[in-house]
Amino acid sequence: MSRIDLLSVMGACRTLHSMLVPHLLAISHNLRRTNQLVSFCHFMLDDKPLRFLYLRDLTISLTFVSSPLLSDLLAKVLRQACKLQGLGLHCGILEGDSRISEAIAAHTGLRKLSLRYPGLGARRMLTCMQSPIEVVEVIMSEASEGGIVDPGSLLAGFCSTLTSLSATLARFSTTGIQYPHLTTLELNCCNNLDIGPLMHLFPNVRNLKIVTCQGLCSHHEHTSQAVIVDESDVKLHRLSNLVVQSELLLQWRTLEYVQGDLPNLYCLAIRGSIRRLDIISADAGNADKLPAILTDLHPSSLFLDVNSDFYQDLPELLQEATKGVCALLLIINKRSTFEEMKRLMECVLGATSSLTHTFFHFKSLPPSISFEKNYHKKLDLDKLSQRAMLKIPPLQYISLEWNKHPPLFWRICRIERHSEGKVLEALPAEVGAKVMAEVGF
């Protein structure tokens, strides 16, 4: 039941009100305005300590606390929230009055912490925290008090417990600390990343996601302008990262999964052998970077999300994507007419005819919602799968998917007596899903 439904039922029945309070408090709460914060604090304190037993996840998005009385009220709530496991803060409320940060630092049960724009107040709080934090999401800012931009040093108190970090607008330079248990690392809009500090700080990363970190032109919700990077600077940065890995014999041997865009991954130049690589928003303008990335990472499975309005851009990109991987999942983010889609399929099949893959999944969008059902029938997915089977000889499995329709799966069976030497066998959805999981999707 949603929060609105719960409040509606609670308001209609006094008996149900007290019964549903635990369910209401178990839902994540985000306090964005001062009046919300005041009401929430009074609500929690009206029935202490019972209500605090059910509060699990709280986010306070206010940039500052307007009065000492409100700071005292919030500190009382935080001190008594004994079962709180997840806490999100705009760190502006930690500057000045220390009662809020002291109440948070005294907690022992927090496991997840989200911080926006940490400054000196946040640093002081983090050095005193008693909770064994496992998951951190942090948005850095040079404009915050103290200008802290390196999560590696900021989160040092959690180096023995942290397993997952999502960092935005961060720079990493610390080398005197390690986070041996961190396996999931997400870097958002982090420009000019150096591979050396990352590999030293997080030696056992298994899952790496990099979003709009280094690109010729990239945007992020926390930046006011596009980041424009000269192509020659990207190449120099890539060379620097390659040299560091070679000279210091650095490698993420635990790395299994990587997601990012072409310029970003090209610049970071991660060397290794991974299970799956996801390329997002790929375009022909950066297709020349794909061979180097595939050589760097040696993925077994490749997820390629092509964001292109021009069919003529696809062959170059797809021909590079067909080299050296066992499974390809291709998504074309373009709405097309039926005739355009037929040309697109010819382009895709022609560009992937040299596939050495055993699994091929293709997904695209219909022209519009109103024509979706008819379009799906008109396209004849059985016929398309037949053509894919004949065009790409090594294939063992084919999957086709259009927009929100469930994917259809086929197994290719070798039959010597058949004129083509092989036939398609339709697979149930659960069998197809299992095959996708086995090849890394």
Write out the residue range of the structural domain in which residue 377 sits. 273-441
d(CA 332, CA 344): 9
- The SS3 call for residue 405 is coil
The two counts, helices (H) then strands (E), for the chain are 16, 18
Examine residue 351 and state whether it is found in any structural domain, yes or no.
yes
Examine residue 297 and state whether it is found in any structural domain, yes or no.
yes
d(CA 95, CA 29): 22
Taking only Cα atoms into account, the Rg of the chain, rounded to an integer number of angstroms, comes to 26
Find residue 327's DSSP bridge partners. 301, 359
Measured CA to CA in angstroms, residue 295 lies from 43, 259, 319 at distances of 58, 15, 14
Examine residue 116 and state whether it is found in any structural domain, yes or no.
no
Examine residue 264 and state whether it is found in any structural domain, yes or no.
no
**Distant-in-sequence contacts of 335-340, Cβ < 8 A, 24+ apart:** 335/365, 335/366, 335/367, 335/368, 336/364, 336/365, 336/367, 337/367, 338/367, 338/375, 338/378, 338/379, 340/311
Examine residue 242 and state whether it is found in any structural domain, yes or no.
no
- The SS3 call for residue 259 is strand
Examine residue 72 and state whether it is found in any structural domain, yes or no.
no
Q: What is the pLDDT of residue 376?
A: 54
Per the structure, how many domains does the chain have? 1
Q: What is the pLDDT along the chain (441 residues), one digit of tens a residue?
A: 445 444 444 444 555 455 556 667 777 889 999 998 998 899 888 877 888 888 999 999 998 887 889 999 999 999 999 899 999 999 889 887 889 999 999 999 999 999 999 988 999 999 999 999 999 999 998 665 566 778 999 999 999 999 999 999 998 988 889 999 999 999 998 877 899 999 999 999 999 999 864 433 333 444 433 444 578 888 999 999 999 999 888 889 999 999 998 888 999 999 999 999 999 887 777 878 888 998 999 998 888 887 655 556 667 777 766 667 778 888 776 666 666 666 777 777 777 766 666 787 877 765 554 445 555 555 677 777 888 888 777 788 888 877 667 888 988 887 766 556 788 888 999 998 898 888 778
Give 206-245 as a DSSP string. -EEEEESSS-SEE--TT-SS-EE--HHHHHHHHHHHHHHH
Nearest to 413 by CA among 399, 395, 431, 400: 395
- The SS3 call for residue 7 is helix
Which residues, 6+ apart, have CB-to-CB distance to 407 below 8 Å? 361, 363, 399, 400, 401, 429, 432
Q: What is the pLDDT of residue 419?
A: 57
